[in-house]
Structure 1
Amino acid sequence: MIWLCITSVLSITLVISNQCINASRITVFPAASQSIAGVFQVSLLNNLNQPEYAFNVSEARRLCLSLGVNIASKAQVQEALTRGLETCRYGWIDEHLAVIPRRKALSNCGQNQAGLVTWRASVTKKFDVFCFNESDAATQLKDTTESPLSRRVNLGQTQSFSRAADSILNMHSTSSSSLLPSSSSTPKTIDSKAGPAQFLSSAQGPTGAKAILITSMCALFLVAIIILAYIKMRRSHVLSSEVKQQLEHIQTEEWTCEKNTKESKEDVEEDERIEVGDNAN
């Protein structure tokens, strides 16, 4: 039981530690405080300040939640793709798929395919993650439906972003290899422009901290209940053993007393018979 408690505490500690990601090492794409149709891609910087694949499925989901948003679904990334989102790095989505949104086919990116390129990889494999900010999506939808002028402005911004992304990808194309999935290698990607995750508001940070604090308190409370139950069971077992021993002792004493009484009675009767025999003689 004690080992069970220790194992539970260690497991919960590992989960909490995974949630505590250094925000200064996070980068987002398209850029800080921006998204396309509410969708943005999150990467983690390594010691060389370069983005690297760092999240499995569960870690990717927790990361989006820690940012105060949800992991994006396939439909949401597809909608962002139609509005101009294009990357060259795989990211996890809600359906446990790794995807790359591509508007144009590129030989060293996304298996030279256009559209939403998917990869059903192992859930333990490390990728980036696509998160979805519902409030951003609602705001952008409202802006695009206000007037034809706003739609033209957004379209121009999307096209400019697409051309800038293509330019960056072409600049790095000479040092990158194909992203064809295989069991013997991991996909090599082109790093697109990304900014640090400065879009985290003061409300979102405390939310993640509160979630971690509540999880820790619940875990400690659960462990305390398990320990108290174990102590109570042990006490009950000890008390029952003591009561059993006392009953056995009492029964033994009664049996001994009864035996002694019977023997005394038999001795008295034997003495009486001897006296009667002597008197008869």
Structure 2
Amino acid sequence: MIWLCITSLLSITPAICNQLIDTSHIRVFPAVNKSIAGVFQVSDLNPAFNYAFNASEARRLCSALGVNIASKAQVQEALSRGLETCRYGWIDEHFAVIPRIKHLSICGQNKTGLVTWRASVTKKFDVFCFNESDAATQLKDATTDSPMSSTHASGQSRSSSKAANSTQAVHPPSSSSSLLSSSSSTPHTVDSGAAAARFVSSAQGSAGAKPILITSTCALLLIAIIVLAFIKMRRSRSDLKQKQEYVQTEEWTCVKDIKETDTAAQEEERIEMDDNAS
């Protein structure tokens, strides 16, 4: 019983924690429902636009949006398709990365490719989330398009990526900041999703499913308790019935023994009387 209660409590806790995360003050890049290979970066819209999520908070934020935290391979694939940012974000392997296509001194230490930072899990960054349904849809669209249309779409993707890069607004770095710490005030891309992003495409359905999940878990827990109580009650009745049968058997045995003793005594008295009479 205790084990069942603990298991049910552990299953309910993540859903409750996800509901406690405020997703009304976040920014999604690229804009909402415009992920690249299913990958998008989530930032906190605080006044200073500083990093706001440690490793565990980053993972819970993606879950609250109804998606998973992106892996290194997924961000690498998005980079190959044109994703470029200037802010570090947590990934599934518990370190932060910046996907860079072009060299920029204030972004990723002027490196290109997937620039990594193995920092403490308590350090705050953005987070890269992965929407599996978006990735599947984009892959399906890419495979069904003709070679000519695929080339055209690739050109549009590169053009949109260049346009996005050209709109980056640079925050002047502090003279006392180090190269790594300056990443918190590095350029960030301004897009149509800069206003508080609510959820990605599957987040609304996930948010509606959480109360159902909690209700179902509670119902299953209640059913399990009732079943266990019923089994225990049946066992108690069975044990009581066996005890009653045992007592009745003992009583019958005692009565039988007493009757046999009385009969034997009477027989002995009758024999003695016959002997005396003769």
TM range (shorter): 0.7 to 0.9
The one-letter code of the counterpart of 1:53 is: F
Q: Which range moved further: 171-180 or 83-92?
A: 171-180
Match of 2:206?
Answer: 208
1:260 is displaced (CA, Å) by 0.7
Count of equivalent residues: 266
Match of 1:217?
Answer: 215
Structure 1 190/36 Cα, relative in aligned 2: closer, same or farther at 3 Å?
A: farther
Counterpart Cα distance in 1 of 2:272 and 2:263:
14
Q: Does 1:14 align with 2:13?
A: yes
Structure 1 77/49 Cα, relative in aligned 2: closer, same or farther at 3 Å?
A: closer
1:230 is displaced (CA, Å) by 1.0
The one-letter code of the counterpart of 1:158 is: S
Unaligned 5+ residue runs, structure 1?
Answer: 181-186
TM-score by length of 2: 0.73
Counterpart Cα distance in 2 of 1:12 and 1:246:
44
1:188 is displaced (CA, Å) by 6.7
Match of 1:189?
Answer: 184
Match of 1:90?
Answer: 89
Counterpart Cα distance in 2 of 1:258 and 1:149:
104
Counterpart Cα distance in 2 of 1:39 and 1:209:
20
Structure 1 154/279 Cα, relative in aligned 2: closer, same or farther at 3 Å?
A: closer
Where 2:242 maps in the other structure, the secondary structure is helix
Unaligned 5+ residue runs, structure 2?
Answer: none
Contact 1:33 1:198 in 2 (8 A): no
1:65-94 deviation digits (Å, cap 9, x = unpaired): x1xx5554544422432425123212214x
1:240 is displaced (CA, Å) by 1.9
Structure 1 123/247 Cα, relative in aligned 2: closer, same or farther at 3 Å?
A: farther
1:123 is displaced (CA, Å) by 8.2
Contact 1:105 1:114 in 2 (8 A): yes
Contact 1:39 1:131 in 2 (8 A): yes
1:176 is displaced (CA, Å) by 4.4
Counterpart Cα distance in 2 of 1:209 and 1:255:
70
1:104-149 deviation digits (Å, cap 9, x = unpaired): 456665465321124577889875133343346777997x964988
Contact 2:97 2:115 in 1 (8 A): yes
The one-letter code of the counterpart of 1:189 is: S
- From 159, 181, 186, the equivalent of 2:162 is 159
The one-letter code of the counterpart of 2:170 is: I
Structure 1 271/126 Cα, relative in aligned 2: closer, same or farther at 3 Å?
A: farther
The one-letter code of the counterpart of 2:60 is: E
Compute the RMSD of aligned alpha carbons.
4.0
1:51 is displaced (CA, Å) by 4.1
Structure 1 84/218 Cα, relative in aligned 2: closer, same or farther at 3 Å?
A: closer
Counterpart Cα distance in 2 of 1:125 and 1:234:
51
Alignment of 1:227-246 (within 5 A): 227-246=225-244
TM-score by length of 1: 0.72
Counterpart Cα distance in 1 of 2:156 and 2:204:
36
The one-letter code of the counterpart of 2:27 is: T
Contact 1:102 1:116 in 2 (8 A): yes
Where 1:172 maps in the other structure, the secondary structure is coil
Q: Percent identity?
A: 29
Q: Which range moved further: 145-154 or 124-133?
A: 145-154
Q: Does 1:260 align with 2:255?
A: no
